[in-house]
Amino acid sequence: MTASFVTQTTNDNHIAEKVMPKKPKKTVARTKQNQNALHKNKIEALQALQNSMGKLHVFSTQLTYLIDSISDTVLLNDREGRKLITNELTKNLFRQHDLNWYGKADIALAIARQQAGANHAYDEMSLKSELHSALAKRQFKLYYQIQVNSDRQILGAEALLRWKHPEYGLVTPDQFIPIAEQTGLILPIGIWVLNAACKQLKLWQSDSVKKDLSIAINISPSQFSHPEFVEQLSYILNKTGINPALLKLELTESLMLHDISNTIEKMEMLKSMGIQFSMDNFGTGYSSLFHLKKLPIDQLKIDQFLMRDIVIDNFDAMIVKAIVEMTNKLGISVTAGGVETEQQFICLKRFQCSSYQGYLFGKPMPLNKFEELISQVTQNGQSTKEIIE
C-alpha cells in the first residue's frame, strides 16, 4: 500500500489518469480526428473522380469504407456529424453521379450488393462498348417506386432506370449514367426511357384500376438542353396517344436555374402539350422560393437532406413547414421524397404535403411487382403499409 501511495503521490499524471475520466477527452479528440479525416478524404475522392471517370465504383467503395470507419454516434446521432456527412461537398459528389444518401447502412449495403454482383473492374472503354450493346439488346429496364397521398393511396410512381446485365445482374445508375453523359449515350437512353414510360401509361390507360396513375421521369440536363428535345417528346406523345397530364418530368434545381429564360421558354412549350413539371431534390441546390414563382412548375419535391431531422429538430421542422406553406400558396403541390419512417410521415402530413415517396411505402421494384402491389391494394382492400409490413 505504501509503495502504491508513493507512486500515486509522485506521479501527478498518473493521479489524473486515475481520478479524471478519460473517455470524454478521447471521444472529443477522436471525433475531431474523424472529421478531419473525412474532409481530407472527400477532397481526395473528388480529385480521384476527376482523373478516373470510368471507375466510379472505386470512389463509392472508398467513401463507404471511410463512412463505416466513423462511429454512428458521430455521423447520425450528433448534429455536427450529420452536417459533416451531408455538407455541400459530399452532396455534390453524390448528386453529380446520381447517388442518393439514405443513411450509412443503406449506402454500405448498396455498395456491398454492387461488389457481390459485379466483381468486374469496369474501365471506360469496356463500359462504353457495353452501353452501346445494352440499348440494342434491350437490357435496360424501368423500376417503379410508388408515390402515395396522405391516406397512402397510390397516385403513381417514379420510373427509375436499371441495367439488367446478362452476366453481372442489375447495374445501378451510378455505375453507368456518368459515362452515358460523358459519351452522349444519355440522349438515346433518355429517349428510350421516355418511350418506355409512355408505352406503359398507354397500357394502363385501358385498365380501369390503373388509368389515373402517373409516371415521373428524371430528365438529364444534356437531354433537356438538346435542341430537338421538345420535338422528340411531342412525337412520342402523338405516337402513344397518352394523356400527357399523367407524364411528369422531374428537373433538378441547377438545370432549371441555368439559363433560366431559355429553360422557362422550353418548359412553357412542353406545358402547352399538357406535360407536368416537378423540381426535383429541392433543398440540395441553390434555388430559393423567389425563383418558384418564375418557373412554370406544378410540383416541388423536397429532398431528404432538408427534412431528415424534422422529427427531432424543431428548427428543421419549421423550415420544412414554411416551405410547404409558401409553396402551396403559389399553387404548387409538394412531394416529400425519401420518407423512411412513420414519424416523418406523420409530421409531413401535418404540414399538408400533397404526396410522399420513400422506402416507408416501397423500394423501387420491377413492373410486375409494382402491378401486383396495386392489385393487392385494390382487390383486397389492403393499405400499402399492411402489404409492405
Both 362 and 225 in one domain: the answer is yes
Give the chain as a 3 state SS string: CHHHHHHHHCCHHHHHHHHCCCHHHHHHHHHHHHHHHHHHHHHHHHHHHHHCCCCHHHHHHHHHHHHHHCCHHHHHHCHHHHHHHCCHHHHHHHHHCCCCCCCHHHHHHHHHHHHHHCCCCCCHHHHHHHHHHHHHCCCEEEEEEEEECCCCCEEEEEEEEEEEECCCEEECHHHHHHHHHHHCCHHHHHHHHHHHHHHHHHHHHCCCCCCCCEEEEECCHHHHHCCCHHHHHHHHHHHHCCCHHHEEEEEEHHHHHCCHHHHHHHHHHHHCCCCEEEEEEECCCCCCHHHHCCCCCCEEEECHHHHCCCCCCHHHHHHHHHHHHHHHHCCCEEEECCCCCHHHHHHHHHCCCCEEECCCCCCCEEHHHHHHHHHHHHHHCCCHHHHHC
pLDDT tens digits for 99-140? 444 333 344 334 444 444 444 444 556 667 788 889 889 999
Last residue of a domain, one of 66, 87, 117: 117
Residue 212 has pLDDT above 80, yes or no: yes
Both 364 and 298 in one domain: the answer is yes
Both 159 and 102 in one domain: the answer is no
Both 177 and 45 in one domain: the answer is no
What pLDDT shows up at residue 174? 76
Give the confidence band of 259 by pLDDT, cuts at 50, 70, 90: confident
What pLDDT shows up at residue 382? 58
What pLDDT shows up at residue 31? 54
Residue 387 has pLDDT above 90, yes or no: no
Both 58 and 183 in one domain: the answer is no
pLDDT tens digits for 319-354? 889 889 988 888 999 999 989 999 999 999 999 999
Both 112 and 135 in one domain: the answer is no
Both 194 and 75 in one domain: the answer is no
Overall number of domains in the chain: 2
Give the confidence band of 183 by pLDDT, cuts at 50, 70, 90: confident
Residue 17 has pLDDT above 60, yes or no: no
Last residue of a domain, one of 117, 143, 176: 117
Both 248 and 158 in one domain: the answer is yes
90 or 251, higher pLDDT: 251
Residue 1 has pLDDT above 70, yes or no: no
What pLDDT shows up at residue 283? 67
Both 94 and 145 in one domain: the answer is no
Both 183 and 135 in one domain: the answer is yes
Both 78 and 164 in one domain: the answer is no
Residue 14 has pLDDT above 80, yes or no: no
Q: What is the pTM of this model?
A: 0.69
Q: Which of 91-105, 138-152, 158-172 has the lowest mean pLDDT?
A: 91-105
Give the confidence band of 218 by pLDDT, cuts at 50, 70, 90: very high
